[in-house]
Homo-oligomer: A and B are copies of this chain.
Amino acid sequence: MEPFALALDLATGRLAPHTSSIVRRVSDMRGMYADGEAERQLASGGDPVVYEVLQYDVPTESGQLVCCTTVIHAGLVGDEYFMTKGHFHEKRETGEVYLGLAGRGYLLLFVDDRAAELEMGPGTLAYVPPYWAHRTLNVGDEPFTFLGVYPADAGHDYGTIEKAGFPRRVVREGSGPVVVQASGEATGAVG
């Protein structure tokens, strides 16, 4: 395998070239937002793009690293901010590094009965330790973009989150984002 260089636009998250991409619309995330009626209305209306991922693939071998960039657009489903589906790594003992490039977001994490959240902005270098599920969301008015680097053999387990959800959500209140338990009450953990 030969060395290579990609061009990452540090403002927009555009990665060129890339070898694979994901575009997720509201209709691709049925049941993930707390407000099912708002979700259905958005999906049957313009069905807006929630987020896009651009990735440069390498062999899925231990020791190789994958780079991808994510752009989460600004928006709400009810009072809940646009977010990614979230996932565990299939190979649970693998971590991930995120570098915030533009915009304002949150990284939600959990494992077993522990949950955590980290605020992200340009220059935030956030670490997803092995075993932790991770989801990101945009709490600003502009696209939230970040770089991700993860072991190429990590794999993605979306199914566990699709069934069980995340224990916390981030919703907009008058003063801005508030972290709440998935059942609805504020945690007070991050304001």
Minimum CB–CB distance for A98 against chain B, Å: 9
Is A179 located at the chain interface by the 8 A CB criterion?
Answer: no
Q: Is B10 a contact partner of A116 (Cβ separation < 8 A)?
A: no
Nearest to A147 among chain B residues (CB) is: B99
The 8 A CB mask of A116-138 against B (1 = contact, 0 = none) is: 10111011111111101000000
Copy number of this protein in the oligomer?
Answer: 2
**The residue from B8, B58, B64, B150 contacting A125, defined by CB atoms under 8 A apart:** B8
Nearest to A6 among chain B residues (CB) is: B125
Minimum CB–CB distance for A71 against chain B, Å: 15
Minimum CB–CB distance for A19 against chain B, Å: 12
A residues contacting the other copy or chain, number (CB 8 A)? 47
Is A189 located at the chain interface by the 8 A CB criterion?
Answer: no
Is A96 located at the chain interface by the 8 A CB criterion?
Answer: yes
Q: Is B65 a contact partner of A151 (Cβ separation < 8 A)?
A: yes
Q: Is B95 a contact partner of A64 (Cβ separation < 8 A)?
A: yes
CA distance in complex: A143, B138 (Å): 33
Q: Is A65 a contact partner of B149 (Cβ separation < 8 A)?
A: yes
**Which B residues are in CB contact (< 8 Å) with A99?**
8, 99, 147
**Which B residues are in CB contact (< 8 Å) with A63?**
91, 93-95, 130, 151, 154
**The residue from B15, B61, B125 contacting A5, defined by CB atoms under 8 A apart:** B125
Q: A10-B10, A63-B94, A65-B95 are in contact. Are A2 and B129 (CB under 8 A)?
A: yes
Pick from A7, A93, A99 the residue with the most CB of B within 10 Å: A99
Minimum CB–CB distance for A125 against chain B, Å: 4
The 10 closest A-B pairs by CB, nearest first: A63-B94, A63-B93, A1-B129, A6-B125, A149-B149, A5-B118, A5-B126, A8-B123, A8-B125, A3-B116
